[in-house]
Amino acid sequence: MYAFDIERPSSIKDAVAALQSEGAQALGGGQTLIPTLKARLAAPEVLISLTGISEMQGVCLSDEGALCIGAGTTHATVAREAAVHFPGLAALASHIGDPAVRNRGTIGGSLANNDPAACYPAAALGTGATIITDKRKIAADDYFQGMFTTALDEGEIITEVRFPIPEKSHYMKFVQPASRFALVGVFVAKYADGVRVAVTGASEEGVFRWHDAETALADDFNARSLDGLSVAADGMIGDLHGSPEYRAHLVKVMTGRAVTAA
Amino acid sequence: MASVTMQVNGKSVSKDVEGRTLLVDFLRNDLRLTGTHVGCDTSQCGACVVHVNGQSVKACAMFAIEADGAEVATIEGQANADGSLNVIQQAFQDHHGLQCGFCTPGMVMTAAALLKENPKPSEAEVRSYLEGNICRCTGYHNIVKAIMAASGQDVAAIAAE
């Protein structure tokens, strides 16, 4: 690997200050970034490791009943500690990557990277979560702006994610068998005032909400409600793993399964 | 260069490392603990799995600096105090859980993490937990059998296919 420096600040304030320097890049658990550096797809001069910041760790409930997760919290910790309050999210976290990856990879890293086939973006958008950074709060609906693109400014870091806890939820993932990333993943969440459906893996625009399904499911939260709906293949990813038509079909199938399992 | 200090298999070590030094390179090149293997170097194959503070991690996807102050366990520290194979290692030998042996250090470390978390896993749970460990000889069947046996379960019913 090429030469670079690593700094390990112990507070958000110090991390933000360190990220002001030219060529600096935040490092979460590194499960995507380190392979990216090896492949020379990114070449920052200095990495600011966020793993030593204790104020960015852990899972708790807010006074308003939302599940708050520190951005530096690993998938394995979310899988364990969110299980009681938000089993749909815990189950999603427990199926990201593999056990060793889950012990390093973080929720903040996943959301900052916004891989079009990552799982967490579906949960954040599918719950209407709030992404909290060192300087502001961003609604999930405003946060995701296309493949690998987010509302984050240069040097801005996610410090916490707040999830409104649904009455029922489920994440259904159809894995690409080699990479285990989602070929299509659908997060369905039912709240007292409506239903949200978010889809990852499928679209060339990254994670998106399937509004027609949300409306149909709000009337009757049953997979049958999707019968008359279809998803357009236009804008879906087409590659050697599946055509746009195949992915569009999977979106409906996975949504129905998620509703049934919720 | 920065100085790192960690406990590796119970022994304290301190060295100067570059920022880019991966934990696996630190273990292999600086400490000469070459039991931890580098297979794919893209964090997919799991040959480099070690434990950091008791949790399995892929040592090719973590910088040595990030293990500063941590307790690291590698395959070299797995044998019993008298040098005999531990229960997982012995089960791999008894059930022919290795062919070329390249993936074995990672398999054993992952199995150790699994059995600590879940002392009596089902066969499906073992297979699921091994998702990030690839055996290029495709010898999974006996690896799964060995891990089940190491957990003290009867593996006679698992056919030797």
**Does residue B32 come out as left (phi exceeding 0), alpha (psi in the -120 to 50 range) or beta?**
left
DSSP type of residue B17: E
Task: Work out the burial of residue A91: count CB atoms within 10 Å of its CB; fewer than 13 is exposed, 13-18 middle, 19 or more buried.
Answer: middle
What is the tens place of the pLDDT at every residue in A173-228?
999 988 888 999 999 999 999 999 999 999 999 999 999 999 999 999 999 999 99
Q: Which residue is closest to B111 within chain A, CA to CA?
A: A99
CB-based contact, B129 to chain A, within 8 Å = yes
Q: Measured between CA atoms, how close is A91 to chain B, in angstroms?
A: 14
In chain A, residues with a C-beta closer than 8 Å to the C-beta of B4 are none
- CATH code given to domain B2-77: 3.10.20.30
Neighbours of A22 (CB within 10 A): 7
In chain A, residues with a C-beta closer than 8 Å to the C-beta of B52 are 103
Distance in angstroms (rounded) separating the CA atoms of residues A115 and A96: 13
Spatial CB neighbours of A79, under 8 Å, sequence gap ≥ 6: A90, A91, A93, A94, A102
The correct answer on CATH 3.30.390.50 for the domain covering A168-261 is yes
Instruction: Identify any residues that bridge with B51 across adjacent strands, giving them in sequence order.
Output: B56, B73
Instruction: Identify any residues that bridge with A209 across adjacent strands, giving them in sequence order.
Output: A198
- Under a CB-based contact definition with an 8 Å cutoff, are residues A188 and A170 in contact? yes
Q: Please, where in chain B does CATH 1.10.150.120 lie? A: 87-150
Instruction: Give me the residue label for tokens 């903040």.
Output: A108
Instruction: Give me the residue label for tokens 């499960």.
Output: A31
C-alpha distances in angstroms, A60 versus A81, A90, A125, A192, B65? 8, 13, 20, 22, 29
**Is the CB of A6 less than 8 angstroms away from the CB of B65?**
yes
What is the tens place of the pLDDT at every residue in A104-150?
999 999 999 999 999 999 999 999 999 999 999 999 999 999 999 99
CB-based contact, B57 to chain A, within 8 Å = yes
Hey, of A51, A98, A181, which one would you mutate to test binding to chain B, going by the most B CBs within 10 A of its CB?
A: A98
CATH of B87-150, one of 3.30.300.20, 1.10.150.120, 3.40.250.10, 1.10.150.530: 1.10.150.120
Using CA atoms in the order A241, A245, A250, A255, what is the torsion angle rounded to 10 degrees?
140
What is the tens place of the pLDDT at every residue in A2-46?
999 999 999 999 999 999 999 999 999 999 999 999 999 999 999
- CATH code given to domain A60-164: 3.30.465.10
CB-based contact, A164 to chain B, within 8 Å = no
In chain A, residues with a C-beta closer than 8 Å to the C-beta of B114 are 99
Spatial CB neighbours of A137, under 8 Å, sequence gap ≥ 6: A130, A131
Q: Kindly report the average pLDDT of chain A as a whole number.
A: 96
What is the tens place of the pLDDT at every residue in A61-91?
999 999 999 999 999 999 999 999 999 999 9
